[in-house]
Amino acid sequence: MKRALTIGLLLFASTAARSGAATVQEMISKALALHDAKRYEEAIALYREALVLEPTNETAAYELVFSLFAGGRLEECAASAERALKWGKRYRAELFSQQASCFDDLGKVDEALRVCGIGLEEFPRDSNLALNCALARLRRRDLPAARELLKVSLAGRPLHASSHFYLAYAFAEDGYQVPALLAALRYLSLEPLGQRAKQAAATARYLLDAGVTRTSPTNIEIALDTEAPKDEGDFTVEATMLAVVSAAGLDEKAAKLPESRRVADQISSFLSFLSERSGEGAAKSFAGETYVPFLVSIERAKLSEAFGYFAFGALELDGAGEWTTAHRDESTKLRLFLEEHDRRSNP
């Protein structure tokens, strides 16, 4: 009788354990749906209930951190990530990344960088961790370190628009005119509309004309930056070409054209030059090897003009809408070309 009772208790415990596991999984699934619906507080409560039932459930622990961040509960987010990192093995890179973001958004940059140091030591090639640590470096104005981390981010996901956006910013802020323009154009090929696209297009627009000034109706001055940094590749020739093209766009005849046409002409001329120079002394660097082949492929597909209008669409320049309406076939060819290129580029 005692043996039968013992067996019965063991079977009951086994059934209860299986039932509890199922319940925890159901709770996690429901919490995920709540998070996706932006009902973060409800998701947080469910994850915490799940962790009471199963304290070492790594999925619940990580998703709790993610929902705390999304819900703006940053102090709790950082603390929860710290606890999970003490025992978790499955989501460590993600937890380091999320914790760094929590500290960064709290303005605790030192803490964010401390977490980044530990996390990158363990996961030096993790793209998302590299991006979040790059953002902390940007907040500190440590532009060289930010650039290197953004390159790590892009190495694992070459189509990540945000990484191209921030890399363009980091290049521009540190005086890398041509690399910044190249990165901005690549970003705009991926995300041509929206507020960030407007910022990137405005930056690219400025870089196209950097150092070129009309001083009178008949005089245009060109001031090249002879001390521009070259550790990202020597783009002196490309910068000179940009200045020449910009100056040509300021002559009396060009000045009468719609602004969108002038920009498209600049882009077409620049891409044509890149194509001619490709393989004949083009800068050997991340920017030269990552961005130049992409832009050259657009020129060789005879889509440079369409790309000029496409990339600066967020600025709504004069004449852009009329050109797009009149050249729908070219716009469609460019869109299909970019989709195919990105499909082949995605690892």
| Percentage above 70 pLDDT, the chain | 86
Q: Is the pLDDT of residue 236 over 60?
A: yes
pLDDT of residue 284: 73
Domain that holds residue 250: 176-347
Q: What integer is the mean pLDDT of 284-302?
A: 92
d(CA 338, CA 190): 8
CA distance 262 to 254: 7
Concatenated DSSP letters for 206-270?
A: HHHHTTEEEEETTEEEE---TT---TT---HHHHHHHHHHHHHTTSHHHHTS-HHHHHHHHHHHH
Could you tell me the maximum CA-CA distance found in the chain, to the nearest angstrom?
A: 110
What global pTM score does this model have?
0.87
Torsions phi, psi for 227 (to 5 deg): -105, 20
Q: 190 or 240: whose pLDDT is higher?
A: 190
* Predicted pLDDT of residue 24: 86
- What was the pLDDT predicted at 165? 98
Is 267 a domain residue?
Answer: yes
307: which residues sit within 8 A by CB, 6+ positions away?
189, 267, 271, 298, 334
Please report the DSSP string for 9-72 in residue order: HHHHHHHHHHHHHHHHHHHHHHHHHHHHTT-HHHHHHHHHHHHHH-TT-HHHHHHHHHHHHHTT
Least confident of 30-34, 66-70, 92-96, 210-214: 210-214
In this predicted structure, the answer to whether residue 6 has a pLDDT above a threshold of 60 is no
Q: Is the pLDDT of residue 3 over 80?
A: no
- Residue 47 inside a domain? The answer is no
**pLDDT tens digits for range 309-332:** 999 999 999 999 999 999 999 999
pLDDT in tens, 255-273: 678 889 999 999 999 999 9
Q: What does the pLDDT read at residue 151? A: 97
The overall average pLDDT reported for the chain is 88
Helix or strand (DSSP H, E) at 65: helix 58-70
17 confidence band (pLDDT: 50, 70, 90):
very low
Is the pLDDT score of 15 beyond 70?
A: no
290 lies in some domain: yes
Residue 220: its pLDDT value, please? 67
Question: Which pLDDT does position 13 carry in this prediction?
Answer: 40
Higher-pLDDT residue of 24, 9: 24
Residue 236 lies in a domain: yes
Helices (H) and strands (E) in the chain, counts: 19, 2
State pLDDT tens for residues 123-148.
Answer: 999 999 999 999 999 999 999 999 99
pLDDT > 70? residue 1: no
Residue 192 falls inside a structural domain: yes
- Residue 194: phi, psi to the nearest 5? 110, 175
Higher pLDDT, 347 or 131: 131
Higher pLDDT, 288 or 188: 188
pLDDT at position 252 is: 63
Q: What are 97's two structure tokens?
A: 């990344």
CA distance 180 to 330: 27
Q: What domain count does the chain have?
A: 1
Instruction: Decide: residue 130, CB within 10 A, 0-12 exposed, 13-18 middle, 19+ buried.
Output: buried
Residue located via tokens 């809408």: 321
- Bridge-partner residues for 216, per DSSP? 219
pLDDT at 239 over 70: yes
110 in any annotated domain: no
User: What is the pLDDT averaged over residues 37-59?
Assistant: 94
pLDDT of 279 over the 60 cut: no
Residue 185 lies in a domain: yes
234 lies in a domain? yes
Mean pLDDT, residues 94-109 taken together = 95
pLDDT for position 250: 67
Whole-number Å distance between alpha carbons of 295 and 30: 45
The fraction of the chain above a pLDDT of 90, given in percent, is 71
Residue carrying the six token digits 């819900």: 71
**Which contiguous run of DSSP H or E holds residue 59?**
helix 58-70
Q: Transcribe 298-312 into DSSP letters.
A: HHHTT-HHHHHHHHT
DSSP percent split of the chain into helix, strand, coil, nearest 5: 75, 5, 25
Rounded average pLDDT over 112-128: 96
Please tell me the least confidently modeled range out of 148-162, 189-203, 270-284, 300-314: 270-284
